[in-house]
Amino acid sequence: MKVTRDIAKNFGFQEVPHFTIGNSLTLDLGRNRYLSLSDLDNCNCMLYLCERDEEYENEVTDIINLHNWDYDKELTVEKLENILKIFNI
């Protein structure tokens, strides 16, 4: 089953409080890390593991792509569950 915004929110993802082109959702992982999920409703769906700068919270220092629609097609609930298990969520 494809991940929808409602499903992602049920896993704990939250709306970003400002406009983003990808209509992003984020999930705080602690230790300045978070998952960023964008474009769930179209063929640009991407999931990233991101790290914030310790001093400047709004600055991202590292990004790792975990899912890209171009290569992986639909983001499934099963795949998202498996990724979240890695982080004990």
pLDDT digits 0-9 by tens, 23-66: 999 999 999 999 999 999 888 999 999 999 989 888 999 999 99
The pLDDT value recorded for residue 57 is: 82
- Give the integer Cα–Cα distance in Å for 66 and 74: 13
Tell me the pLDDT of the chain averaged across its residues: 94
60 assigned to some structural domain: yes
In 10 A of CB 28, how many CB atoms? 13
Residue 86 domain flag: no
Q: Which residues constitute the domain of residue 31?
A: 5-78
Residue 85 domain-assigned?
no
Distance CA 43, CA 89 (A): 26
Percent of the chain at pLDDT exceeding 70 = 100
pLDDT band at 1 (very low <50, low <70, confident <90, very high): very high
Q: What is the pTM of this model?
A: 0.92
- Is residue 87 assigned to a domain? no
Token pair 């991202």 in the structure block, residue: 60
The one-character DSSP state at 42 is S
Number of Cβ atoms within 10 Å of the Cβ of 35 = 23
**Is position 12 within any domain?**
yes
Q: What's the total number of domains in the chain?
A: 1
Residue 88 within any structural domain of the chain:
no
Is the C-alpha dihedral spanning 52, 55, 56, 62 positive or negative?
A: negative
83 in a structural domain: no
